Structure 1
Amino acid sequence: MFHSDDVTHAVGIDLYVSDLERLTRFYNEVIGLKHFKKSKNEVVFNLDRDHFIRLIEDDSKVKPSLDEAGLFHVAILLPERSDLADFLVHIHAKGIQLGASDHLVSEAIYLSDPEGNGIEIYVDRDHSQWIWNNDSIAMETLPLDVEDLLSVQSGNQFDGLPSSTIIGHIHLKAYNVSEMNQFYHEHLGFNEVATYGGQASFMSDANYHHHLAVNTWQSKEMRNDNTLGLAKVYFNRSDFETMEHTDPSNICIQIN
């Protein structure tokens, strides 16, 4: 519904990495992305609906500064609440440091890969439970009720994320929030549905809670082309031919 072909949304992401073998094991064994293709210097993890996460090894890139624009997290959307419960049991057994939040519209688990790229694994609440005030949606960052979530686990041994898993949204570290808002409205048609003190903005198509978020909580500089981490974000837009743009934070996007 919110990620169909006629709705504009993120469908893929490229990440520059320094240790392809280590990151491949992490996304495969820890995150649970089972379907991937490997070539000499890159691995593509395939999700449902032709969504993907591509890792590109490039030893010429350097570690980004903490103040640099780039990826805040890529958010992986699971089909069922029980899937999130099963993932939580799995990730806890792995001893991975994580965060967990209830956002009213969704429930989410947060972690980072070994090179510091942020990852969110989440499940949406039914959209009938979302609270809208005209064109603004209510979202919060509340503690996740872990006990209640675990009450719906399937009891099956974790064997990877479900086949219908997709990229739900992308959250970017930005240089300037208002400039990013204008850019993504003009180029993708996204509308702002929530804002937080001018430091964060959440945008979407078709009244989703957000397909894209941007913030300046950490970032004070433009993205550097010579650093590891985010390389490109891919979006679909059915009424556009394929084209590339660079957004106001120097983040490369491709519209398919």
Structure 2
Amino acid sequence: MTTLLPPSRLPAGLSIGPVELAVNDLQRSVTFYGQVLGLVVQEHTPVTATLGAGPRPLVRLTEVPGAAPAPVGSTGLYHLAMLLPTRADLARWVRHVSALGLRVGQSDHLVSEAFYLTDPDGHGIEVYRDRPRNEWRWTLDQVQMASDPIDIPDLLAEAGPEPYSHAPESTVMGHVHLRVSDLGPTETFYRTVLGFDVVARWPGALFVSVGGYHHHLGLNTWQSEGGKAAPDGTTALRNVDLTLPRQTDIDALASRLTAAGHAFTLERDSLIVTDPAGNRLTFATPQ
């Protein structure tokens, strides 16, 4: 019999990034993230590159030459989500990708307006802006989200003449969606053990956050129910970095994982853990 632990919430100051990805061709990916998303290279070695907005790292790429795509149905990254500061920034980005001739998906989620595309290796990407929090609608502890069409002409009217040449310095990794294999153990792990709040439930998906955000992580089985983590040597998710405000937060997380009997590793000031679907998370404090 499984004994559930009492809920323990993570602190509201959690932040996400960088998201670490394996890619087939490093220079191709660096060019894509620079030209399409406007990220700047912060560190570059022959096999790795870290890109971000201003000083903030958002994506870390590792080249795996000859890597095949992650198998269909495997767990891993569904998409990473880059949060732009304003609606005008999003409008300029939409105009920018349109000029590049790229096709993107789109959805009005009520709490946000979001656009979707994939990188050259098939990693999913969302670019979005949040509506003000006072416009989010909650039913008790559940936030209302939808997948409605965006009013594109109304959005583009806010772009103004300024081009989108780079991601604004206040751009952050707003959230990450992960593919998981089974929502039952996933909810136990993220809510009861790690300490996230479940803020929305959709068929085949959970959305979790801290501090009343609409979601820091999406967890879905839409393409991966019963699946396994992608094997090494494929272009798959390698890690999601999450930053907690204080070392005591890491210590408390380690205590909960120990009590739950869930394996983890401590390295210097970071805690590394793998969720039930094989997704690797690294919790650390600000450097």
Deviations 1:85-120 (A, max 9, x none): 000000011111210110000001111001100000
Please say if residues 40 and 54 of structure 2, whose CA atoms lie closer than 8 Å, have aligned partners that are also in contact.
no
Q: Which amino acid aligns with 1:201?
A: L
Q: Indicate how the Cα distance of structure 1 residues 188 and 8 shifts in structure 2: closer, same or farther if over 3 A, else same.
A: farther
Instruction: Provide the residue aligned with 2:216 in structure 1.
Output: 211
Matched, 1:64 2:100: no
In structure 1, the gaps of 5 or more residues are none
Per-residue CA shift, 1:33-59, capped at 9, x if unaligned? 124321110110123673421000012
How far, CA to CA, are the matches of 2:278 and 2:16 in structure 1? 17
1:21 counterpart SS class: helix
Letter of the 2:138 partner, please give it. Answer: W
- With structure 2 as the length reference, what TM-score do the two structures score? 0.84
Structure 1 residue 191 corresponds to structure 2 residue 197:
yes
Structure 1 contact 72–118 (Cα < 8 Å) conserved? yes
Q: Does 1:242 align with 2:270?
A: yes
**Please, which of 100, 119, 124 is the counterpart of residue 130 of structure 2?**
124
Match of 1:86 among 69, 88, 92: 92
Q: Identity rate of aligned residues, in percent?
A: 36
**CA offsets per residue over residues 15-70 of structure 1, 9 Å max, x none?**
00011111110000111112432111011012367342100001264321111111
Letter of the 1:229 partner, please give it: A
Cα pair distance change 1:191/1:201, threshold 3 Å: same
Match of 2:219, SS? Answer: strand
User: What is the aligned partner in structure 2 of residue 228 from structure 1?
Assistant: 235
**Aligned partner letter, 2:164:** F
Q: Which shifted more, 69-78 or 48-57? A: 48-57
Highest CA radius of gyration, 1 or 2?
2
Aligned partner of 1:154 among 157, 160, 184: 160
What's the offset of the Cα at 1:178? 2.2
Q: Which moved more, 1:209-218 or 1:8-17?
A: 8-17
For the residues of structure 1 that align with 2:20 and 2:200, how far apart are their CA atoms? 27
Q: Greater shift after overlay, 28-37 or 211-220?
A: 28-37
- Return the alpha-carbon distance in structure 1 between the equivalents of residues 54 and 220 of structure 2: 28
Kept in 2, the 8 Å contact 1:174–1:215? The answer is yes
2:282 equivalent in structure 1: 254
Matched to 1:72, the amino acid is Y
Residue 59 to residue 187, structure 1, CA distance change in 2 (3 Å) = farther
Stretches of structure 2 lacking an aligned partner (at least 5 in a row): 1-10, 251-268
Distance, in Å, in 1 between the alignment partners of 2:68 and 2:49 is 20
Q: Does the CA contact (< 8 Å) of 2:42 and 2:57 recur in 1?
A: no
Structure 2 residue 139 is the aligned partner of structure 1 residue 133? yes
